[in-house]
Structure 1
Amino acid sequence: MNPLARIGLIVSYAVLALAALGRSSYQISTKFADAPLAYSVSALSAILYAVIAIALWKGRHRIALIGTSIELAGVLIVGTLGYIESSWWPDQTVWTGYGSAYGWVPLVLPILALWALLRARRAHLASSGDGA
């Protein structure tokens, strides 16, 4: 993977982890009873973002690939459910509205990360003679 792309992804995921951690910590500590599912999703997204950032930093591309796949699925599921049944999400999560409160970064970032990770994997397989 291109070193600049890797650093960009690591920084992006670290910033999102901190933002989601701050948001969820405040929400859980002050008003958890208002929207426990939404605030739990934000906390889980913070953990997932941190795992992805650390995996990218340590070169654990398989873990990063799995994490970004889970992230994209989560963003799509929570975002879609928010439009289908908004009463399930009485307050916003990091992934509500496909991450609109975060400038849609939670939707775009896993797509970019998956693209970069899969591209690097293909290049690695081609150079090692293990695949096309």
Structure 2
Amino acid sequence: MLVVVYAILALGAFGRSLVQITEQFSDAPLAYTLSAISAVVYIVATIALVARGLVWYRIAWVTISFEMLGVLVVGTLSWIQPDLFAHATVWSYYGDGYVWVPLVLPFLGMIWLSKNKPVRAADVASTKADTEPTEPTEPTEPSAS
């Protein structure tokens, strides 16, 4: 479900930024550039959540952390400096144009990532070696010195 929401937000942010940049970029370059950046973040986060492996896991953490920072910074600035965001972005007012999903989503993503850390092959081999029974060794005779 988390990946589906990320994918929907990625499509929405991409579509919004594409229209804004192609039709009205000169009206609000900062806002429309932020919309494009958020679209890229959501696209990469979606891919990283679906892909397997430690590298993609780390990419997911980076993109979701950046997303959270973006939502908090842009959301706060849109309240205290509304003239910066005369035109809305995905992250303006903490994502109120998207029913605050952009504010909640990174928290859910981080919770999911913390509970679904990939297991490295070395860890599996180590665990397997620790749990496999060992063959009994023959007792050794005490040495007579």
* TM-score bracket relative to the smaller structure: 0.7 to 0.9
Whole-Å Cα distance in 2 between the matches of residues 124 and 96 of structure 1?
A: 37
Unmatched 5+ stretches in structure 2:
127-145
Q: Supply the RMSD in Å over aligned alpha carbons.
A: 1.8
Residues 23-77 of structure 1: CA distance to partner in whole angstroms, max 9, x if unpaired?
1111111110110000000001001100000011112211111110000000000
Letter in 2 for 1:112: L
1:86 to 49, 68, 82: 82
How far apart in 2 are the matches of 1:86 and 1:62? 34
Q: 1:44 aligns with which of 24, 37, 50?
A: 37
Could you tell me which residue of structure 2 aligns to residue 103 of structure 1? Answer: 99
Query: What residue in structure 2 maps to residue 19 of structure 1?
Result: 12
TM-score (norm. length: structure 2): 0.78
Query: Aligned residues, how many?
Result: 120
Structure 1, unaligned runs of 5 or more: 1-7
Secondary structure of the corresponding residue to residue 99 of structure 1: helix
Q: Measure the CA separation in 1 of the matches of 2:64 and 2:113.
A: 10
Aligned position for 2:115: 119
Which 4+ runs in 1 deviate beyond 2 A? none
Q: For residues 73-111 of structure 1, give each alpha carbon's deviation from its aligned partner in whole angstroms, at most 9, with x where no partner exists.
A: 000000000011001111000000100000100000110
Find the residue that maps to 1:115 and give its secondary structure. helix
How much does 1:124 deviate?
Answer: 5.3
**Highest Rg: 1 or 2?**
2
Distance 1:9 1:50 in 2: 13
2:141 maps to none
> 1: distance between equivalents of 2:119 and 2:75?
34
* Distance of 1:51 and 1:73 partners within structure 2: 16
Percent of residue pairs identical: 47
Counterpart amino acid of 2:36?
A
